[in-house]
Structure 1
Amino acid sequence: MIENIYLWLGVYTFQAYNLILTYLQCFVCLAFFARRMERRSHFVLRTAGALAAGVLLCVPLIVLYTHLNTLPARVFCYLTVSLLNFLALAFCWKDNVEELLLTFCSGTAAYQLTNKLYPLLQLLRGFNDLETISLFHAGFIQWWDWALYFAFYLACYWALSQIFRPRTRLYRSRRTARSVGVLSCFTILVVNVLICISRTYEAESLALNLIVKIFCILFGIETLFACTHIFSLNERDHQIDVLHQLWRQDKAQFESVKANMDVINMKCHDLKHILGKIAGKLTTEETDSLRTAIEFYDSNIKTGNEVLDVVLCEKAMACQRDSIRFSCMADGTRLDFLTPVQTYTLFGNIIDNAIEAVRRLPDPELRVISLICRAEGTRLMIEESNYFTGDLNLNGDLPATAKDDISRHGYGTRSIQYIARQYGGDMHIELSGNMFFLKVWFPLSAAVSASGGQACVFRQVKDVPSFPGRI
């Protein structure tokens, strides 16, 4: 059969083998890396059409390569084959341009790596890759030589796609678009120029042949790592964007809560005067209940940090509403290095996560939250503890969200950790028995104001009577 193909193609046989096999192998490699992307409708027909069209469009390139065997002509032919592969990828799979380009770069690099690794093994075994595809003998090629050849390529494509295939989506951003554009142009140019130059100089000497192949392999590995790094940076940038969006929401919520607190304090002040006038018309029990309720809502939490005062008042009311005992000892004067939004977000997320955890406890006596903020040595420590039941599932070093919509939740602890690391600190989570501990620390050098404030000690009243129309 091979003799018949040679008789039919004649002088075009070698270049037809090079260009058509390059197109088909690169397409197969791209298909491994594109597995996570959405397929277009009529995918099988599209794939068959893309393969057939690519082979037909390689025909004029084969003629050009054969009759004009110069470096510019070779570079043009292989660049055109790369373009055909990218168009085939975009024709069969559906995604944004950045995602397609990054998948194309990964697949091209993996193909280039494999395409040089196999002949390198041939050279190490003493066979010329320009004369045979076999790893075991020179001369006539057996059918099992072809089987081993294609099995090796497919195994490498699969292994590389498993190792370097991204696990997340690529979110749109200008920085990512620029990075992908630069990497794509650089990869396509260098890979195709390397193919053409290597074919020119590989036959010069064994040492030069080995150097060229090893360089191409290392370049392919480096490109794969670069693609993976872009995905990692993109995921980190997306998480930071989400955190900033949540902080903007927290800022609006803080301003609203602060305004409500001011209104509550004024109303409580008015209610004290009203209660003094009507106390004689109520029973002692009713008067004591009203006075207890007013004192609770009018409790002035003073930590030395106005934002922290607002957070603690807001969360204390939330705990009271859910029959949760909340105790806090905090020196807010050490927190002046944080912005108001960071303070509100940090303590709000810490207490909100604790409330969500203890709310699910079946025993009301275990619904207790403790919060401490104090200086310890060279660190400013924030410690929160509460009772906990069940298993603690971690996503990396952070707890996985228990909510169904993971795309919109799970950023609470991530936000806490991000704020701590911005100032050289960190967050640590520990589960001991039925107790959950969250510790956040900052170096005291980060605190721009540490002027002897007095810590606030706050203990929530366990049971506060409820009244219709309560403010």
Structure 2
Amino acid sequence: MIDVLPDIPRVYTALAEWIACIIYISILKRHLRRSHLVLFASLALIVQITFLVVTDYLSLAFWIPSMAMAVILMFIFIYKSTQLNFLDAGYFTVKAFVLAELVASFQWQLHNFFWKQGFTDSLQEIILLILVYGSAFLAIWFLERKHIPEDGMMNVSRRELVSVVVIGVAVFAISNLSFVTSKTPFSGQYAQEILNIRTLVDLGGFTILHAYHLQLTDLRIKHELRAMQYILQSQYTQYQQSKESIEMINYKYHDLKNQIIALKAETDSDKRHAYLEKMEEEIKAYEAEHKTGNHVLDTVLKSKSLYCIKNEITLTCVADGSLLNGMSTADIATIFGNALDNAIEYEQKVKDKEKRLIHVSVFSKRNFIMIRVENYFEGDLIIEGDLPKTTKRNTYLHGYGLKSIQHTVQKYGGVVNVNQNGNWFELEILMPKLN
């Protein structure tokens, strides 16, 4: 490396990388409890400083591998401390690394400026370090927290992660090129020039990453809105189709009742009479089924019941539908349609048909409406963000059914909670009573 000026002390670099990780960990959904996080963060700082200080005296050939290892340590710190998946953790690691390079470079540039002015006292150097790191990282924290989703999940694709990694590598390579060699068209020749290049390139790189982040966030919001609108429309369409189908079935059963009356009048056979009595009882049972007091809920339940019967799933319901009479048709179809679709989709995978069970209940609890949809569940429930971890291959589209339920319930000032109770998965909705 060129001996034009002393490079950033490795302790400063390690501290910047550690604080950059802390910035994002504090914003994202954390995996560790606070006490455990403090211990793990302290260990991460010790490891980061030790590694960079030990590798400071290695030859140039080991410089890039040692920096790559430092980035890996940052990734482990972020990945183990948060609820991010592998790709998202890699994405935020790159952002944290470029941020650390920017702040460390900016601080060192100020240090060299004041050093030339005669401020060489160690205490002054520490104060400058605290002031620059504190103000710069705090400003970035306020900037980033406004543009990171509440659940912390970016759900970046492999292509998007590769793009971010390429940007990060390019920024690091160009900003540090002058410290490796001066024999390129892009290298600086003088100390101040080299410092300016590094700081400005790091600033440009972080700006590019932030702009890319805003673009990804905007695209995901638009995609999520489209997906939720599709699900809302789909559930309402299903409701309309189910309503028409069930009305046709009701007409058929009404005709069948008239036929039974006619057949009774034509014969006195005890056997035929008993058979007809049985048919009439079945019709009465059908008419009484899912009469909750809300015709929209009745229609949704009847539609899902017919599907459950076809797929050998037992669906039971105890519901006071009159509690939902102040809710719109589309909202009732969205809540119960999505909840039952999710439950049915899981129960179809249960091999033991005796265990394919779904139960729906709607009741009042003080001044609130409680909606509970339960289904038999095998294994352990794992929550990622606010959603159960999916077993589907396409995780990008995961959770929009539940998100549409959350969006609908929030319109009425309610909350949604998912949990596991033994071998039961429970979706609970609590809303204030409707006027």
TM-score by length of 1: 0.48
Unaligned runs of 5+ in 2: 3-93, 118-143, 158-191
In 1, the alpha carbon distance for the partners of 2:221 and 2:397 equals 16
Q: Distance in 2 between matches of 1:407 and 1:382?
A: 28
Query: Where does residue 384 of structure 1 map in the other structure?
Result: 373
In structure 1, the partner of 2:424 is 435
Alignment counterpart, residue 238 of structure 1, candidates 196, 206, 223 = 223
- Residue 226 of structure 1 and its aligned partner are, at CA, apart by 6.5
Q: CA deviation at 1:303?
A: 2.7
In 1, the alpha carbon distance for the partners of 2:203 and 2:153 equals 18
Contact 1:424 1:442 in 2 (8 A): yes
CA contact (8 A) 1:110 1:220 kept: no
Q: CA deviation at 1:307?
A: 1.0
Report the counterpart of residue 22 of structure 2 in structure 1.
none
How has the CA–CA distance of structure 1 residues 235 and 337 changed in structure 2, closer, same or farther, with 3 Å as cutoff?
farther
Instruction: Identify if the C-alpha distance between structure 1 residues 116 and 216 changes in structure 2 by more than 3 Å, giving closer, same or farther.
Output: farther
Asked whether the equivalents of residues 379 and 441 of structure 1 are also in contact (C-alpha less than 8 Å), the reply is yes
Q: 1:116 to 1:434 in 2, by over 3 A?
A: closer
Instruction: State whether residues 305 and 315 of structure 2, in contact with CA within 8 Å, keep that contact through their aligned partners in structure 1.
Output: yes
* 2:360 alignment partner, SS class: strand
C-alpha distance in 2 between matches for 1:285 and 1:364: 32
Task: Give the CA deviation at 1:255.
Answer: 1.4
What is the 5 A alignment of 1:44-59? none
Aligned-residue CA RMSD in angstroms?
4.5
Is this contact kept in 2: 1:113–1:220, CA < 8 A?
no
TM-score (norm 2): 0.52
Which residue of structure 2 aligns with residue 247 of structure 1?
232
Aligned to 1:372: 361
Deviation of the 1:418 alpha carbon: 2.0
Counterpart AA for 1:124: H
SS at match of 2:413: coil
1:367 corresponds to which letter in structure 2?
Answer: R
Equivalence for 1:320:
309
Residues 165 and 315 of structure 1, relative CA distance in 2, 3 Å threshold? closer
Superposition deviation, residue 244 in structure 1: 0.6
Is 1:331 paired with 2:331? no
Q: Distance in 2 between matches of 1:244 and 1:166?
A: 20
Residues 278 and 318 (structure 1 numbering): CA distance in 2 closer, same or farther, change over 3 Å? same
Residue pair 1:110, 1:224 contacting (<8 A) in 2 also: no
Secondary structure in 2 aligned to 1:298? helix
Answer with 1 or 2: which has the greater Rg. Answer: 1
Q: Helix, strand or coil: the match of 1:429?
A: strand
Q: Which residue of 1 aligns with 2:384?
A: 395
Residue 288 (structure 1) shift: 5.0
* Cα pair distance change 1:247/1:363, threshold 3 Å: same
Deviation by residue 1:420-450 (Cα, 9 ceiling, x = unmatched): 2233222111112212211011123xx23xx
Match of 1:121 among 95, 104, 108: 108
- Greater mean deviation of Cα atoms: 217-226 or 262-271: 217-226
Supply the distance in 2 between the matched residues of 1:389 and 1:111 (Cα, whole angstroms): 43
- CA deviations 1:344-363 (Å, max 9, x no partner) are 12111212222233333344
Quick one: percent identity of the two aligned structures? 30
**Residue 108 and residue 309 in structure 1: after superposition, are their counterparts in 2 closer, same or farther (change >3 A)?**
closer
Q: 1:275, 1:397 → 2: CA distance? A: 54
Task: Give the structure 2 partner of residue 262 of structure 1.
Answer: 247
Distance change >3 Å, CA 378–CA 256, structure 1 → 2: same
2:334–2:408 contact (8 Å) kept in structure 1: no
| Cα 1:359–1:283 shift into 2, 3 Å | farther
The answer to whether structure 1 residue 423 and structure 2 residue 412 are counterparts is yes
Secondary structure of 2:380's aligned partner: coil
- What is residue 182 of structure 1 aligned with on the other side? none
Per the TM alignment, residue 229 of structure 1 is displaced from its structure 2 partner at its CA by 4.8
Q: How far 1:387 moved relative to its partner?
A: 2.0
Deviation at 1:129, TM superposition (A): 9.0
What SS does the corresponding residue of 2:288 show, helix, strand or coil? coil
Does residue 346 (structure 1) correspond to residue 335 (structure 2)? The answer is: yes
Q: Distance in 2 between matches of 1:116 and 1:301?
A: 64
The answer to whether the 8 A contact 1:324-1:367 is kept is yes
Give distance in 1, aligned partners of 2:410 and 2:312: 34
Contact kept in structure 1, 2:358 and 2:375, CA below 8 Å: yes
Q: For residues 420 and 272 of structure 1, do their structure 2 counterparts lie closer, same or farther at Cα, with a shift above 3 Å needed?
A: same
CA contact (8 A) 2:235 2:338 kept: no
Q: Residues 39-82 of structure 1: CA distance to partner in whole angstroms, max 9, x if unpaired?
A: xxxxxxxxxxxxxxxxxxxxxxxxxxxxxxxxxxxxxxxxxxxx
8 Å CA contact 1:429, 1:438 repeated in 2: yes
Asked whether the 8 Å contact 2:231–2:404 carries over to 1, the reply is no
- The 3 A distance-change label for structure 1 pair 221 and 364 is same
CA contact 2:98–2:202 (8 Å) conserved in 1: no
Aligned residue for 2:16? Answer: none
1:199-231 per-position Cα deviation (integer Å, ceiling 9, x unaligned):
xxxx9xxxxx9xxx9999999878855653553
Counterparts in 2 of 1:376 and 1:284: CA distance versus 1, 3 Å: same
How do 1:160-239 and structure 2 match up within 5 A? 167-168=155-156, 228-239=213-224
CA contact (8 A) 1:346 1:419 kept: yes
Residues 250 and 231 (structure 1), Cα distance of their counterparts in 2 relative to 1, 3 Å cut: same
1:114 and 1:257 map into 2 onto residues whose CA distance is: 59
Mark the CA change 1:344 to 1:225 in structure 2 (over 3 Å): closer, same or farther: same
* Deviation of 1:317 (Å): 2.0
Provide the C-alpha distance between the structure 1 equivalents of 2:116 and 2:364, rounded to a whole number of angstroms: 69
The CA distance in 2 between the partners of 1:129 and 1:229, in whole Å, is 39
| Structure 2 CA distance for partners of 1:235 and 1:286, relative to 1, 3 Å | same
1:311 aligns with 2:296: no
Q: Which amino acid aligns with 1:338?
A: M
Give, as a single letter, the amino acid of the residue that structure 2 aligns with 1:366.
Answer: K
Sort the Cα spacing of 1:119 and 1:234 in 2 relative to 1 into closer, same or farther, 3 A.
closer
Q: Is the 8 A contact 1:122 1:129 kept in 2?
A: no
CA contact (8 A) 1:311 1:347 kept: yes
**Residue type matched to 1:294 in 2?**
I
Q: Deviation at 1:266?
A: 1.2
